[in-house]
Amino acid sequence: MSSPATASRILSRCLSTASSPSGLQPWLFIGLGNPGEKFKLTRHNVGFNSIDAFARSEGIPMTTVHCKALFGEGMVGGAPVLLAKPQTYMNLSGDSTGPLAAYYKLPLNRVLVMYDDMDLPCGVLRLQPKGGHARHNGLKNVIYHFRGNKEFGRLRIGIGRPPGQMDPKAFLLQPFNKTAREKIDSALEESTDILRTIISEGLTEAARLYNTEQKYKHLRVDSLSL
């Protein structure tokens, strides 16, 4: 792992040559969430949590403000990586993500957005190379600021559905209970491995390796017994 200063110098060189055939084009990993302590551990902020987990694991400081986002940069496995947590509040995430991708002149197939997903069981991850917004307002705004282009990667982080008749908006802004928090913390560790695999093997291969395993991991062994 390079020191932050060394990594920044290397990254600058990579960015300056990214458009050349031999250049190393960076990955831009973006986690969606809401800024502020009161939202830090809520279900809606698992995208932020995923970026934080990866930044800690790779020693990348998230201390810069750039394009309305908390921002970090470094080298992972010899490849340049950009990390961002938009500070615009969830529903205006595109105000940050659009300018970031434009600033670094990145094709959208080098962008990955991480966010909470009620359509997946709690703690289950799903990696996709493209898709719609599935009624997620933060992702909807990101697509809008990408001029309607949906051809960017996304890591969906399952948070499960609200119980009973609970308002989904209230559910999103509540913290996890103890059992769910344990599942999410485990998923965040797995997400760091997924991001490393994307960097080393590409998004398509990472999805092939992880998605089937993730699909069934929430099932208990006793629920499969005859």
Q: Quick one: CATH architecture of 27-223?
A: 3-Layer(aba) Sandwich (3.40)
At 3 the pLDDT is: 46
Q: Which tokens belong to 19?
A: 């458009």
Residue type, 129: P
The rounded distance, in Å, linking the Cα atoms of 57 and 50 is 11
At 7 the pLDDT is: 46
The rounded distance, in Å, linking the Cα atoms of 108 and 111 is 5
At what angle are helices 178-201 and 46-58 packed, to 10 degrees? 60
Residue type, 26: P
Cβ-contact 61, 50 below 8 angstroms: no
Catalytic residue among 44, 133, 136, 218: 44
For the question of residue 145 being annotated catalytic, the response is no
30 bridge partner residues: 84, 113
Query: pLDDT truncated to tens, each residue of the chain (226 aa)?
Result: 444 454 455 455 455 544 433 368 999 999 999 999 999 999 999 999 999 999 999 999 999 999 999 999 999 999 999 999 999 999 999 999 999 999 999 999 999 999 999 999 999 999 999 998 988 999 999 999 999 999 999 999 999 999 999 999 999 999 999 999 999 999 999 999 999 999 999 999 999 999 988 877 766 433 433 3
The rounded distance, in Å, linking the Cα atoms of 166 and 67 is 35
Element (H, E) at 65: strand 64-66
- Cα separations in angstroms, 2 against 9, 35, 52, 104, 189: 10, 29, 18, 22, 21
